[in-house]
Amino acid sequence: MSTVQEQFGMHISTSSLPNVSNSREFFCGVELEIEDIKSKEDVIDHYPIVIIEADHSLRNNGLEFKYGPVGYQEALNTFNGIWKHLKVGKTPFSERTSIHVHVNARCLTTEEARQLVLLYALYEPLFFAFVGNERKNNIFCVPLNYTSLPNTYKANLVAMHKAWSKYTAFNICPMGPGKDGSAHHGTIEFRHMYGTKDPEIFKKWLTTLKELYTFVEKNTGFDIIKTILSGKDMASYASVVIPSLATGMTLGQINNLIEDSLIDVKLSSGGLTK
Binding site for another protein (CB under 8 A): 137, 139-140, 142-143, 145-151, 165-168, 225-226, 228-229, 260, 263, 266-267, 269, 271-274
Q: How far is the CB of 272 from another protein (least distance, A)?
A: 5
* Distance in Å, CB of 221 to another protein, minimum: 16
150 vs 186, which CB is nearer to another protein? 150
- Strand 187-190 and strand 63-71: pairing? unpaired
Q: Provide, rounded to whole angstroms, the least separation between the CB of residue 194 and another protein.
A: 17
Instruction: State the DSSP H helix or E strand holding residue 71, giving kind and residue range, or none if neither.
Output: strand 63-71
Q: What is the largest CA-CA distance in the chain?
A: 61
49 vs 263, beta carbon nearer another protein: 263
Q: Virtual CA dihedral for 150, 154, 157, 160, nearest 10 degrees? A: -40
CA dist., res. 59 & res. 92, Å (int): 10
Q: What DSSP element (H or E) covers 104?
A: strand 99-104
Choose among 127, 107, 111, 125: nearest CA to 212. 127
Would you say 52 or 160 has its CB closer to another protein? 160
Q: Which residues, 6+ apart, have CB-to-CB distance to 46 below 8 Å? A: 81, 85
Instruction: Give least dist CB 28 to another protein, A.
Output: 23
| Torsional sign, CA 79, 82, 85, 86 | negative
Residue whose CB is less far from another protein, 22 or 137: 137
**Beta carbon of residue 166, minimum distance to another protein (angstroms, whole number):** 8
Cβ-based nearer residue to another protein, 20 or 121: 121
